[in-house]
């Protein structure tokens, strides 16, 4: 993950800067390419794979939703981090996370890409027997440009333990967005256009009121969440969120969800904004009744500006599990750190 970057104030998001104005400045340097993808991945379980009680899983399809982030070392080589959670096919709770590297090949005037990658990581839950949890992930994908920097990706590969105790073939589809950031020199040429893109990073504490549990009872549950919003234009954003229970006797509960939101302009002396968002994805564990794992989570809230980059954030909403009993009102409170980065093309 990139830990150093050049940035501007969040309020500069979607501001277009003439390339001529950036020449001979600190922005006149080689750009750094990154990509972000949301995807659906199907695991077709094969071999002697089984649940922890010994029941065979072979023939089942485990459906996953997740997120992948790539950072390029040069024009071809990249490293990635990828996380997924199951939402259908088995009891809720299966999740995995991988890190790895890959090779990127572009063709058709950069409209078509082929990527080969290999990852190592950990996975388990949902009753799936992955032994110690160590998994490997070889994969091949093809990407086709559909608009601007947006590509549709189709991938095929394997997800397995090294000794094939758990073995599955993978087939998935995703939407990937490429960004050339922090510089105006792209492929040894000067970019034609540059614009600041807004990012919000949010740390918050969620409180689920009377969260329904397996066993027919309910109890309040609390979790800590990290959410990242990438603004697609000045007011609409794509969001990714991961959360982990920290109070309420649900210690293994976790969420991995994505979605869209809208945020108002600042008002009340440019100190306050409001937002609305709908997130959905995988959740499970900790005895929370989420069925096979798919949840939907709409919410509303308010940001109060403290500094140019820092805000207080509060919200409330409703979370519902498909196929499970979880159906709760929730509230949250936290902090956001906002900035914009330069995107060139």
The phi-psi region of residue 190 (left if phi > 0; otherwise alpha if psi is between -120 and 50; otherwise beta) is beta
Q: Regarding the domain delimited by 32-181, which CATH topology (the fold level of the hierarchy) does it fall under?
A: Porin (2.40.160)
Q: Which residues 6+ apart lie within 8 Å of 300 measured at CB?
A: 274, 275, 276, 315, 316, 317
> In the prediction, which pLDDT does 208 show?
97
Tens-digit pLDDT profile for residues 192-250: 888 888 999 999 999 999 999 998 899 999 999 999 999 989 999 999 999 999 999 98
Q: Among all chains, which residue has been given the structure tokens 């306050």?
A: 272
The domain ranges of the chain are 32-181, 195-344
Q: One fold for both 32-181 and 195-344?
A: yes
Architecture of domain 195-344: Beta Barrel (2.40)
Closest listed residue to residue 167, CA positions, set 47, 86, 4: 47
Task: Using CA atoms of 146, 148, 239, 37 in order, give the dihedral in degrees to the nearest 10.
Answer: 50
| pTM over cut 0.75 | yes
In this prediction, residue 2 has a pLDDT band, given cuts at 50, 70 and 90, of low
Q: Among all chains, which residue has been given the structure tokens 């794509």?
A: 238
> In the prediction, which pLDDT does 106 show?
93
Alpha helices by DSSP H, the chain: 19-22
Tens-digit pLDDT profile for residues 28-66: 888 889 999 999 999 999 988 999 888 999 889 999 998
Residue 3 has pLDDT above 60, yes or no: no
With 0-12 / 13-18 / 19 or more C-beta atoms within 10 angstroms meaning exposed / middle / buried, residue 214 is: middle
Tens-digit pLDDT profile for residues 73-123: 988 999 999 999 888 888 888 889 999 999 999 998 889 999 999 999 999
């Amino acid at each position: 993950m990139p830990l150093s970057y050049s940035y501007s104030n969040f309020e500069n998001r979607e501001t277009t800067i003439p390339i001529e104005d950036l020449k001979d400045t600190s922005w006149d340097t080689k750009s750094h390419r990154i990509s972000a993808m949301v995807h659906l991945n199907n695991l077709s379980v094969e071999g002697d794979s089984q649940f922890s009680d010994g029941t065979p899983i072979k023939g089942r399809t485990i459906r996953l939703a997740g997120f992948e982030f790539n950072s390029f070392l040069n024009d071809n080589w990249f490293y990635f981090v990828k996380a997924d959670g199951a939402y259908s096919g088995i009891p809720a709770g299966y999740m995995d996370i991988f890190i790895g590297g890959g090779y990127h090949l572009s063709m058709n005037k950069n409209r078509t890409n082929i990527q080969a990658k290999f990852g190592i990581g950990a996975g388990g839950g949902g009753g799936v027997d992955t032994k110690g949890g160590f998994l490997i992930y070889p994969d091949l994908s093809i990407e086709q440009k559909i608009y601007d920097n947006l590509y549709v990706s189709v991938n095929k590969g394997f997800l397995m333990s090294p000794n094939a105790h758990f073995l599955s073939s993978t087939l998935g589809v995703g939407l990937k967005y490429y960004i050339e950031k922090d510089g105006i020199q792209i492929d040894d040429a000067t970019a034609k256009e540059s614009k600041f893109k807004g990012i919000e990073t949010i740390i918050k504490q969620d409180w689920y009121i009377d969260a329904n549990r397996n066993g027919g009872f309910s109890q309040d549950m609390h979790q800590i969440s990290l959410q990242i919003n990438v603004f697609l234009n000045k007011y609409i954003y794509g969001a990714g969120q991961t959360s982990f229970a920290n109070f309420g006797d649900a210690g293994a509960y976790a969420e991995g969800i994505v979605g869209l939101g809208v945020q108002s302009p600042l008002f009340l002396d440019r100190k306050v904004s409001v937002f609305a968002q709908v997130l959905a994805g995988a959740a499970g564990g900790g005895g929370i009744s989420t069925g096979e794992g798919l949840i939907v989570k709409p919410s509303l809230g308010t940001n109060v500006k403290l500094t140019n980059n820092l805000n207080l954030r509060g919200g409330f909403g409703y979370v519902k599990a498909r196929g499970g009993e979880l159906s709760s009102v929730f509230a949250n409170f936290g902090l956001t750190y906002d900035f914009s980065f330069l995107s060139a093309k």
